[in-house]
């Protein structure tokens, strides 16, 4: 079952971390009942899901969601209709992303002591990269002459090109000259790769996450900041700077324009930027306080 499951996820373009997440939840079900999940009936699954909801009442309910996602895919592989097993549908959260201001981004970029971390954050924000995409950047993907970055095999196994800022190019050249990376731009501690007998020397996912969290803390940013926050901020700032939604979709590597359109609800763009009525109220009734120059 394990190999079949992994192959199916690979065909669907899902990452290995997604595979491990699904398998972990399915393994817990198997240990709970001491049999594989496909041998369970609807009542047993309902009891287990109710137990999961009671034990993992988190704001995002991610544990419950991944349990459902893992079961759905397993049943699909085995030719069992999820609806016949009474699996509930999962509604997508309608939360708007956290976005940093340009002033906060500037503080974040200047916070790390290590040049490596400053360049890493610069790539995440300046190119709108996902965490695994930043780890996968190779020296050969950097085209300094054309000022482009080749994002190789991003989400959904899709390639895309994104512009490289001249400021980032200068930083990358300085970093490469100092660190002398051979293949991956960001190297980490060599870890044994379970798929084969070789070694994966890329910077780890936890390393990237730690670098961003530490920078946000040092910069004094009180908003909840993670790696994906920089991608959200990249998209929002591009919209506010005049990039159209179709172009943004391509830069982000989104499959559907619907996914990209969430940033229209966050970006302060358009002919007149949104403002608070308090601004016009104070401007009208206390112009001296609001604008001492009188202009």
Residues 6 or more apart whose CB falls under 8 angstroms from that of 8 comprise 73, 77
Sketch the domain layout of the chain as residue ranges: 2-85, 102-265
Residue 291: pLDDT over 70: no
Can you tell me the distance from the alpha carbon of 204 to that of 135, in angstroms, rounded to the nearest whole number? 7
pTM of the model: 0.71
Domain 2-85 class, CATH top level: mainly alpha
Task: Report angle CA 231, 116, 97 to the nearest 5 degrees.
Answer: 15
Catalytic residues: 130, 155, 228, 231, 254, 263
What is the rounded CA–CA span in Å between residue 116 and residue 122? 10
Mean pLDDT value across the chain: 84
273 pLDDT tier (thresholds 50, 70, 90): low
Tokens 């044994």 correspond to 192
Residue-level pLDDT at 248: 93
How far apart are alpha carbons 267 and 256 in whole angstroms?
Answer: 19
Would you tell me which CATH number, out of the four given (3.40.50.620, 2.30.40.10, 1.10.443.10, 1.10.10.60), belongs to the domain 102-265?
Answer: 1.10.443.10
């Amino acid at each position: 079952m394990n190999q079949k499951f992994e192959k199916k996820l690979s065909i669907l373009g899902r990452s290995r971390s997604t595979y491990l997440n699904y398998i972990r939840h399915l393994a817990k079900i198997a240990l709970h009942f001491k049999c594989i999940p496909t041998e369970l009936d609807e009542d047993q699954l309902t009891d287990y899901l109710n137990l999961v909801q009671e034990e993992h009442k988190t704001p995002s309910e991610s544990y419950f969601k991944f349990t459902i996602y893992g079961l759905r895919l397993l049943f699909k592989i085995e030719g069992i209709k999820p609806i016949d097993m009474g699996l509930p549908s999962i509604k997508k959260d309608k939360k708007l992303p956290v976005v940093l201001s340009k002033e906060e981004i500037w503080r974040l970029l200047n916070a790390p002591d290590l040049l490596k971390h400053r360049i890493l954050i610069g790539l995440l924000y300046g190119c709108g990269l996902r965490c695994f995409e930043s780890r996968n950047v190779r020296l050969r993907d950097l085209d300094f002459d054309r000022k482009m970055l080749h994002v190789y095999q991003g989400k959904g196994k899709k390639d895309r090109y994104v512009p490289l800022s001249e400021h980032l190019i200068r930083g990358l050249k300085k970093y490469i000259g100092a660190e002398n990376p051979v293949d991956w731009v960001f190297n980490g501690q060599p870890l044994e790769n379970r798929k084969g007998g070789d070694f994966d020397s890329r910077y780890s996912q936890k390393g990237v996450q730690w670098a961003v969290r530490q920078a946000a803390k040092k910069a004094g940013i009180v908003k909840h900041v993670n790696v994906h926050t920089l991608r959200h901020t990249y998209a929002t700032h591009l919209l506010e700077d005049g990039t159209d939604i179709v172009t943004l979709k391509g830069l982000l590597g989104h499959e559907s324009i619907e996914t990209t359109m969430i940033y229209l609800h966050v970006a302060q763009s358009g002919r007149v930027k949104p403002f608070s009525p308090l601004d016009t109220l104070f401007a009208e009734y206390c112009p001296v306080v609001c604008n001492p120059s009188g202009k």
